[in-house]
Amino acid sequence: MNPADHTLPQAVFDPAVFTKALASGSPAKHAKAALNRAAAYFEEQFYAGVEAGPLIRLRAAFMDSMLGILWDSQQWPSTDIALVAVGGYGRGELHPHSDIDILIITGHEADDENSHRHIEIFLTLLWDTGLTIGHSVRTVNECRRRAARDIIILTNLMEARVIRGDAALMQAVHEATAPEQMWPSGEFFRAKLAEQQARHNKYADTEYNLEPNVKSSPGGLRDLQIIGWIAMRHFGVKTLDDLPSNDFLTPDERRILDSGREFMWRVRYALHIITGREENRLLFDHQRELAKMWGFEDGDKLAVEQFMQLYYRSAISLGQLNEVLVQNFDQAILHATGKDELRQINDRFVSRNGYLEVQDEMLFQHYPSALLEVFLLCASDQDIIGVGAPTIRLLRDNRHLIDDHFRADPRNHKLFLDILKAPYKVTRQLRRMTRYGILGNYLPEFGRIVGQMQHDLFHSYTVDAHTLQVIQNMRRFLRPEFEERFPISSRVTRRLPQIELLYIAGLYHDIGKGRGGDHSELGAVDAERFCQQHGLLQRDTELVVWLVRNHLTMSAVSQRKDISDPEVIQQFAQHVGDEDRLDYLLALTVADINGTNPTLWNAWRASLLRQLYTETKRALRRGLENPIDKQAWINNTRQNAIDLLECRGFTVQELEELWRERGEDYFLREQPEDIVWHTEAIAGHYDKTQPLVLVRNSSDSSVANATQIFIHARSHAHLFSRVCAELEQLDLSVHDARIYSASDNMTLDTFFVLDSNGNSIAEDGARLRQIKTHLTEALGQNIDQPVFMQRLTPRQMKSFPTPTETRMSIDEIKQVSVLEVASPDRPGLLARIGQVFVEQEVLLQAAKIQTLGERVEDVFFITDLKAQPITDPAHCDAIQQAICDRLDKQI
């Protein structure tokens, strides 16, 4: 739509009045006033419910009028010059804070010093008004040369509009840059497709970015612009609405285009208004504001989750439209000769240039099961690239045929299970089924989670995207190139007797999210119904249901329990029951962790799961009726350490004296090699008034590839808090900690650290010495008051002011209180918790520190000053409240 078709009310902007005002002087002042009035009017109209499309076109029309009058107010020495709108402005689209991109074209007569001086005066005037101007000054030949080299410049010129001046100059540019002169439509198509793919790759090739870019992310406005540019170049049309026939854009697709574009325009318009700048990123804090603007309220789902689900579903629709039209253009542009490569697949389908197509447009109506057969064929034939555009349209138009009768048909049950068992690109087919609306119709419970956001920093994907990522991870376990990263999971997954059962568990493990209640239990109910409907054997159904119900258990036990304790292993083994369940659960757990947030998987979690899996498998093979003796475990560790130390000159009597104050937890949790390391150093450390600090990189600890810091020092109330503060000053992040307090008033603390980015510290002797020296000096001084870091809380974390959660219980066996703290990770978190312990007169006996992405789930084993469990309810409440207050006030 031409911006000239739109005008502002005269009270807001009257061209005649504005022209007269300029004649009185101070043009920048009058222009600023006009801009302010127009901006206020546009914002008022937006909040009144006027659609964004008319507003951005009206703003472009207003800008045309104002710039044109400002241009006319100059005394141009030549008429051989033109003011041209390019970019989004050239399309006639201007959001509240979009740049005003202009091109000034000069002819031979205007290509002189006097004309350029007037151009500088004009541009200075625009800058003085406060407009954000993007400008270039070129001749027709310069436009031609630059466009020949740079497709982005060519694209801008394709959309250029003359605002004032000699229109013949712009016509000459269009003629010089026409397809017959440069960038023929085939080359242009390939280049734009490569440009789109590079942009999609930048955003992980998914519409489901947590903070999507409304303009550039997949499914955003740029996807529509790409197909618009291709259409302009090949068919010579000005907009997609002008395409020659419904073969390229059906009425239904026009509706999707119009509604999807208007939605994205409105989101972008709102972002500009609430930020006061050109902001195209849908950042977390903006998402909440937009949810309110759209009228969503918190209920079973948060308002922001409802809004983002609407956004993601719109992005999926536009992404699908982009896919269909790009394929159509591929046929019209690259395969226009009609020499298609055809291959008969079966009586119903043919492959055309690698894309699967139906042979009869009425196929789905006559044989609805073909709606699933499409994807089975794609997953069974490695040479099929994807689904052809005509068939995608037919899928979309006929997906309503997937009703209760369809879902109850045993033929369709078999087809769906066969897709899961197929050899090629299973995850890709499930993603296509989701994009085309087939999977959500066949499994309505899955349809409810499409675009379901999980509004936190822990989950990187929407529920449906996470689910399909989990299945992709399972598929990766079967591929040789991933064996080095997932050695145990790969071996375990390859020997699973029925891999499709693992996929079904993956498909249903999070399907209950967004409904309220325990999503594992809700998912188990859905999974059982699916298995029964699809004719699975009872034992297979029970396995799938158990996996869905327990998909979080293995991760929780490995990260929150003391898996060096044989009693913990025995309890977990009893819960699992047999080796088959353990194998399936490991594969599901590793796939789930890697599909939740890519930063969560590291050598530490891998080693914890490996240890839990290995020890549990031993327990199962030994027989649940034959649990390992805990004291035997301790004795074995002690004896192995003794054997190593005797070779280094220690006697048993000396070792018994050195270890006299060690509790059983020390020999349960520590490896013999680490005990040897500690013991040698303690025996050789004669100045007991000074702390002993040892630092080394370790690949054998439960935090594999971490740096291991061992501290032997006199017990002090502030010691833990001070150590954590000093580690943070050293830019180190604690990923695990073991605290042992001895009755001789000495403490043995082991911290496993990575750098603040979660990376291993390189084998750098100087860096390790720096850590040791810094800690030794800091802990040798007065440590009554900890040193807190004053680093700023990251922006994303401020957008999620999740309150700290605490829980206390008593471990009757170890006779300690167990304090669990779950909180967003924050600068100085551990130091502040340690300070609370001091204030509340609490002794820290042991701790298990866990950093899970952007949150922590820490377990502290504490007692009162008499080394007894804390049983006073008031004291328990005071401890928990103090921790919550201390941590939450940081956000």
Task: Clarify whether residues 489 and 615 are in a common domain.
Answer: yes
Rounded Cα–Cα distance for residues 556 and 523 (Å): 18
Tens digits of per-residue pLDDT, 55-95?
999 999 999 999 999 999 988 888 899 999 999 999 999 99
For residue 298, give the 3-state DSSP assignment. Answer: coil
For residue 356, give the 3-state DSSP assignment. Answer: strand
Task: Clarify whether residues 83 and 227 are in a common domain.
Answer: no
In terms of C-beta density within 10 A (0-12 exposed, 13-18 middle, 19 or more buried), how is residue 7 classed?
middle
CB atoms within 10 A of CB 460: 21
CB atoms within 10 A of CB 194: 11
For residue 524, give the 3-state DSSP assignment. Answer: helix
Residue 389, domain member (yes or no): no
Phi, psi of 695 (to 5 degrees): -135, 130
Tens digits of per-residue pLDDT, 792-848?
555 555 555 578 889 999 988 778 899 999 888 777 888 889 899 999 999 888 777
Q: Is the pLDDT of residue 772 over 50?
A: yes
Say if pTM beats, i.e. exceeds, 0.85.
no
CA 155 to chain centre: 31
Q: Please report the DSSP string for 689-735 in residue order.
A: TS-EEEEEEESSSSSTTEEEEEEEEE--TTHHHHHHHHHHHTTEEEE
Task: Clarify whether residues 486 and 600 are in a common domain.
Answer: yes
Q: Is the pLDDT of residue 598 over 80?
A: no
What pLDDT does 432 receive?
A: 94
Q: Is the pLDDT of residue 334 over 80?
A: no
What pLDDT does 78 receive?
A: 85
Task: Clarify whether residues 718 and 825 are in a common domain.
Answer: yes
Residue 404, domain member (yes or no): no
Rounded Cα–Cα distance for residues 830 and 788 (Å): 10
Measured CA distances, 503 to 405, 468, 473, 584 (Å): 25, 10, 10, 10
Phi, psi of 723 (to 5 degrees): -60, -45
Measured CA distances, 74 to 77, 118, 166, 812 (Å): 9, 8, 15, 89
CATH, residue 267: 1.20.120.330
What pLDDT does 338 receive?
A: 64
Using the 3D structure, point to which of 183, 209, 226 is the last residue of a domain: 183
**Residue 851, token pair as written in the block:** 């950093």
161-165 sheet: strands from edge to edge: 133-139, 100-106, 81-85, 161-165
CB atoms within 10 A of CB 184: 14
Rounded Cα–Cα distance for residues 319 and 323 (Å): 6
Rounded Cα–Cα distance for residues 606 and 488 (Å): 9
Measured CA distances, 361 to 53, 153, 324, 395, 707 (Å): 36, 42, 16, 10, 64
What pLDDT does 4 receive?
A: 44
Q: What is the dihedral of CA 462, 466, 472, 476, to 10 degrees?
A: 130
CB atoms within 10 A of CB 204: 15
CATH, residue 98: 3.30.460.10
What pLDDT does 796 receive?
A: 55
Inter-residue contact 94 to 54 (CB < 8 Å): no
Residue 775, domain member (yes or no): yes
Task: Clarify whether residues 213 and 327 are in a common domain.
Answer: yes
- Which of 111-120, 310-319, 493-502, 535-544 has the weakest average pLDDT? 111-120
Beta bridge partners of 355: 352, 386
Find the mean pLDDT for residues 666-681: 91
Rounded Cα–Cα distance for residues 724 and 844 (Å): 14
CB atoms within 10 A of CB 437: 19
Using the 3D structure, point to which of 601, 622, 643 is the last residue of a domain: 622
Rounded Cα–Cα distance for residues 137 and 145 (Å): 14
What pLDDT does 625 receive?
A: 87
Beta bridge partners of 137: 104
Q: What angle do CA 789, 784, 891 make, to 5 degrees?
A: 30
Task: Clarify whether residues 327 and 313 are in a common domain.
Answer: yes
Q: What angle do CA 60, 65, 70 make, to 5 degrees?
A: 120
Rounded Cα–Cα distance for residues 836 and 346 (Å): 72
What pLDDT does 1 receive?
A: 38
Q: In which domain, by residue range, is 651 found? A: 630-888
Per-residue pLDDT band for 203 (boundaries 50, 70, 90) equals confident
Tens digits of per-residue pLDDT, 146-180?
999 999 999 999 999 999 999 999 999 999 999 99
Q: Is the pLDDT of residue 759 over 80?
A: no
Phi, psi of 162 (to 5 degrees): -80, 125
Q: In 3D, which of 823, 819, 833 has the Cα closest to residue 728?
A: 833
Inter-residue contact 789 to 828 (CB < 8 Å): yes
Looking at 719-781, which runs of residues are DSSP E strands? 732-741, 746-755
Q: In 3D, which of 46, 65, 47 has the Cα closest to residue 56?
A: 46
Q: In 3D, which of 815, 812, 807 has the Cα closest to residue 884?
A: 807
Q: Please report the DSSP string for 475-502 in residue order.
A: HHTTSGGGTTTSHHHHHHHHT-S-HHHH
What pLDDT does 63 receive?
A: 96
What pLDDT does 2 receive?
A: 45
What pLDDT does 333 receive?
A: 81
Looking at 201-334, which runs of residues are DSSP E strands? none
Q: Is the pLDDT of residue 881 over 60?
A: yes
Find the mean pLDDT for residues 533-557: 96
Looking at 746-850, which runs of residues are DSSP E strands? 746-755, 805-811, 816-824, 843-848
Inter-residue contact 104 to 81 (CB < 8 Å): yes
Per the prediction, the chain carries an average pLDDT of: 89
Q: In 3D, which of 474, 464, 535, 528 has the Cα closest to residue 500?
A: 474
What pLDDT does 350 receive?
A: 96
Rounded Cα–Cα distance for residues 70 and 457 (Å): 49
Q: Is the pLDDT of residue 130 over 70?
A: yes
Per-residue pLDDT band for 423 (boundaries 50, 70, 90) equals very high
- Which of 115-124, 315-324, 642-651, 846-855 has the weakest average pLDDT? 846-855
* Distance in Å from the first CA to the final CA of the chain: 47
Task: Clarify whether residues 586 and 714 are in a common domain.
Answer: no
Residue 459, domain member (yes or no): yes
Task: Clarify whether residues 824 and 678 are in a common domain.
Answer: yes
What pLDDT does 572 receive?
A: 96
What pLDDT does 251 receive?
A: 85
Q: What angle do CA 612, 618, 623 make, to 5 degrees?
A: 125
Rounded Cα–Cα distance for residues 19 and 65 (Å): 10
Rounded Cα–Cα distance for residues 645 and 648 (Å): 5
Residue 876, domain member (yes or no): yes
What percentage of residues in the chain have a pLDDT greater than 90?
63
Beta bridge partners of 860: 819, 847
**DSSP summary character for residue 5:** G
Using the 3D structure, point to which of 605, 622, 639 is the last residue of a domain: 622
Residue 372, domain member (yes or no): no
Residue 369, domain member (yes or no): no
Q: What angle do CA 464, 591, 419 make, to 5 degrees?
A: 60
Q: Residue 674: what residue type?
A: D
Residue 168, domain member (yes or no): yes
Per-residue pLDDT band for 743 (boundaries 50, 70, 90) equals low
Query: Which residues, other chains included, contact 318 with Cβ-Cβ below 8 Å and sequence gap of 6+?
Result: 219, 220, 223, 224, 256, 257, 260, 261, 264
- The number of domains in the chain is 4
Task: Clarify whether residues 576 and 671 are in a common domain.
Answer: no
Rounded Cα–Cα distance for residues 426 and 500 (Å): 11
Query: Which residues, other chains included, contact 581 with Cβ-Cβ below 8 Å and sequence gap of 6+?
Result: 543, 546, 547
What pLDDT does 774 receive?
A: 92
What pLDDT does 716 receive?
A: 82
Task: Clarify whether residues 609 and 655 are in a common domain.
Answer: no
Tens digits of per-residue pLDDT, 228-245?
999 899 888 887 777 766
Rounded Cα–Cα distance for residues 148 and 141 (Å): 11
Looking at 45-183, which runs of residues are DSSP E strands? 81-85, 100-106, 133-139, 161-165
Rounded Cα–Cα distance for residues 648 and 646 (Å): 5
Task: Clarify whether residues 481 and 582 are in a common domain.
Answer: yes
Per-residue pLDDT band for 294 (boundaries 50, 70, 90) equals very high
Inter-residue contact 316 to 308 (CB < 8 Å): no
What pLDDT does 804 receive?
A: 86
Q: Is the pLDDT of residue 851 over 80?
A: no
Task: Clarify whether residues 274 and 177 are in a common domain.
Answer: no
Q: Please report the DSSP string for 26-71 in residue order.
A: -HHHHHHHHHHHHHHHHHHHHHTT--HHHHHHHHHHHHHHHHHHHH
Q: Residue 826: what residue type?
A: R
